[in-house]
Amino acid sequence: MENKTDVVILRGKIAVAAVDFHSTRIYALDQDSHDRPETVTAQDPRGLYHNVYHRAGNPDGTYEADSDAYWKLLCESLHEANGIVLLTNGTGKSNAGHHFAAYAEKHFSDVAANILGEVRCDISDLTDAQLLRIGQDFVGMHPKRDHGDSRRGAI
């Protein structure tokens, strides 16, 4: 299962991962905001992941996680990063970041150890540049500013 596009080199860098149950966008913290992120997509041959919440035969109302193959592929994509900032948009049982972190703790402890923190934001409505900027802000990295004059790149 290779559901990855636009692979981003993360060796020795801090990664920003916008985690959803269906796909994850991965950025290197120092990449240009115009560069495309790496995208890891959950394989869904039976069409079940469009609705994570299942009522039939599920009296306790728990959310069913995506396949372990998706979480494994995501861990493999992030294992070279020195740090990981998770961006998620859910709360409680619907938080894909929590599902990912639990899987990483159980199966990829080195990846789990590199998780720096989690930021809740509306990842589906934010642009790539905005998501990258949220990750940069989390670690205190300020982008170079364009002041509109000869001070290009000054902070």
User: Where residue 31 sits, what CATH number does that domain have?
Assistant: 3.30.420.60
Beta bridge partners of 19: 24
Q: Which residue reads 């998780």 in tokens?
A: 115
How far is 107 from 24, CA to CA, in rounded Å?
A: 19
Residue 22 is assigned to a structural domain of this protein: yes
Q: How many domains does the chain have?
A: 1
The single-letter DSSP state of residue 93 is: G
Task: Tell me the residue range of the domain where 73 lies.
Answer: 4-138
**Residuewise pLDDT in 10s, the chain (155 residues):** 457 667 787 888 999 999 988 889 999 988 776 678 888 887 765 555 545 555 566 555 555 555 788 889 999 999 999 999 999 987 776 788 888 999 999 999 999 999 999 999 988 889 988 999 999 899 988 766 666 666 655 55
* Contact yes or no for 90/53 (Cβ under 8 A): no
